[in-house]
């Protein structure tokens, strides 16, 4: 039997690179498409020697011509860290709008299944906690985070329009805060910042008073959820995340302890529209995919610290 063929946009990014590796492990032929805006070639260097892996440097806001047939198009290209999308707001809106359009068109041409990497940010600063998929969200359409939130909301709407108009097989994954090896130490996200600061015995920068919450999913758990969603008959949207909620202050203390660090903490201003709480309701993923995260935060953070420690020598 010939291998399944998948194209992954954003494949040189944090999640995309793990997804490429997993699909290769499942014997897929993989096309990894990325313009390296926030991703890194190093993330996929170990994959380049695999004959079933094809690297294409390309900006998906332009149409992509690919002669090969495809079974799956997975659209993960987009800046994802608040620091990145605040730096690249127009690029973020364009990849969410034009990039999603181009990849939906590619999926339609190839009669492929389309998967969209959406986000918990579609719920904005939520007024219900935890957030079920039925919640429509509380998003500031003109605030600094709107370039990301509204791009993803548009991308979801476009995906559903293709599903309704063309009967395209689509899947919308609403991904909650995910962390692990291959994150950039300077991506500005809380786990990368805290790990990098703790390992260098620098103060951990807590924004606001640290009472805001997030729920952190280890990358291997997320990839398992995405893979199950891909193989399922589900359209979604479906929340994928770890429902274990923690305050940012507690996270800082956990990382200081796990890193055996001498760091203290410093308080910095809270960025505008920073969600006060976030926690996925994962009942749908449990029922329909038989999925739930398995890796406790302690263990996930330990593995992530190990990865960042390996980069310290190179920094």
Residues of this chain that interact with ligand NAD (CB under 6 A) are 9-10, 12-16, 34-39, 59-61, 76-80, 84, 95, 99, 117, 119, 175, 177-178
How far is the C-alpha of 27 from the C-alpha of 70, rounded, in Å?
A: 14
Number of residues that bind ligand UDP (CB under 6 A): 15
Select from ligand NAD, ligand UDP, none the partner in contact with residue 178, using the beta carbon and a kind-dependent cut-off of 5 to 8 Å: ligand NAD
Contact yes or no for 222/80 (Cβ under 8 A): no
DSSP character at residue 203: P
Interactions with ligand UDP, residue window 163-192 (CB under 6 A):
177, 189-190
Q: Under the criterion CB under 6 A, does residue 307 sit at the interface with ligand UDP?
A: no
- Residue length of the chain: 315
Select from ligand UDP, ligand NAD, none the partner in contact with residue 95, using the beta carbon and a kind-dependent cut-off of 5 to 8 Å: ligand NAD
Q: Which residues pair with 32 in a beta bridge?
A: 8, 55
Minimal distance, residue 222 CB to ligand NAD, in Å: 8
How far is the C-alpha of 303 from the C-alpha of 315, rounded, in Å?
A: 19
Interactions with ligand UDP, residue window 274-303 (CB under 6 A):
274
Active site residue 148: yes
Q: Under the criterion CB under 6 A, does residue 207 sit at the interface with ligand UDP?
A: yes
CB nearer ligand UDP, residue 235 or residue 253:
253
CA atoms within 13 A on the CB side of 66: 31
Tokens of 267: 């308080």
Select from ligand UDP, ligand NAD, none the partner in contact with residue 130, using the beta carbon and a kind-dependent cut-off of 5 to 8 Å: none
Helix (H) or strand (E) holding 302: helix 297-312
Q: Residue 102: is the preceding peptide bond cis (ω within 30°)?
A: no
DSSP character at residue 4: P
From the list 28, 88, 123, 148, the catalytic residue is 148
Select from ligand NAD, ligand UDP, none the partner in contact with residue 158, using the beta carbon and a kind-dependent cut-off of 5 to 8 Å: none
Q: Helices (DSSP H) in 33-189: which residue ranges? A: 82-87, 89-94, 100-110, 146-166
Buried b / exposed e over 128-163, threshold 16 CB at 10 Å, is ebbbebebebebeeeeebbbbbbbbbebbebbbebb
How far is the C-alpha of 206 from the C-alpha of 211, rounded, in Å?
A: 10
CB nearer ligand UDP, residue 47 or residue 206:
206
Select from ligand UDP, ligand NAD, none the partner in contact with residue 263, using the beta carbon and a kind-dependent cut-off of 5 to 8 Å: none
Among residues 47, 93, 199, 248, the one that binds ligand UDP under rule CB under 6 A? 248
Q: Under the criterion CB under 6 A, does residue 198 sit at the interface with ligand UDP?
A: no
Residue ranges binding ligand UDP (CB under 6 A): 81-82, 177, 189-190, 193, 205-207, 212, 214, 248, 270-271, 274
Q: Which residues are catalytic?
A: 148
């Amino acid at each position: 039997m010939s291998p399944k063929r998948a194209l992954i946009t954003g494949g040189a990014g944090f999640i995309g690179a793990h997804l490429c590796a997993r699909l290769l492990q499942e014997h897929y032929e993989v096309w990894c498409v990325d313009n390296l805006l926030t991703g890194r070639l190093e993330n996929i260097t170990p994959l380049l020697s695999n004959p079933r892996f094809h690297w294409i440097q390309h900006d998906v806001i332009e149409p992509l011509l690919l002669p090969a047939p495809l079974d799956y198009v997975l659209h993960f290209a987009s800046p994802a860290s608040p620091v990145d999308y605040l730096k690249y707001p127009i690029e973020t809106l364009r990849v969410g709008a034009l990039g999603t359009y181009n990849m939906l068109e590619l999926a339609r041409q190839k009669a492929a299944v389309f998967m969209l990497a959406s986000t918990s940010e579609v719920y904005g600063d939520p007024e219900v906690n935890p957030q079920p998929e039925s919640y429509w969200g509380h998003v500031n359409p003109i605030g600094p985070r709107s370039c990301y939130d509204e791009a993803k909301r548009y991308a979801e709407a476009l995906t559903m329009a293709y599903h309704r108009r063309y009967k395209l097989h689509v899947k919308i994954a609403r991904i909650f805060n995910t962390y692990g090896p291959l994150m950039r130490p300077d991506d500005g996200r809380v786990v990368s910042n805290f790990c990098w600061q703790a390992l260098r015995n620098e103060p951990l920068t807590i924004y606001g008073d640290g009472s805001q919450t997030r729920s952190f999913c280890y990358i291997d758990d997320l990839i398992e959820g995405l893979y199950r969603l891909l193989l399922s008959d589900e359209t979604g949207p479906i929340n994928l995340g770890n429902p274990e909620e923690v305050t940012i202050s507690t996270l800082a203390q956990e990382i200081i302890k796990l890193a055996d660090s001498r760091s203290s903490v410093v308080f910095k201003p809270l960025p505008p529209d920073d969600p006060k709480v976030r926690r996925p309701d994962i009942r749908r993923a449990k029922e329909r995919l038989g999925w739930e995260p398995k890796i406790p935060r302690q263990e996930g953070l330990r593995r992530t610290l190990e990865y960042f420690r390996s980069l310290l020598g190179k920094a």
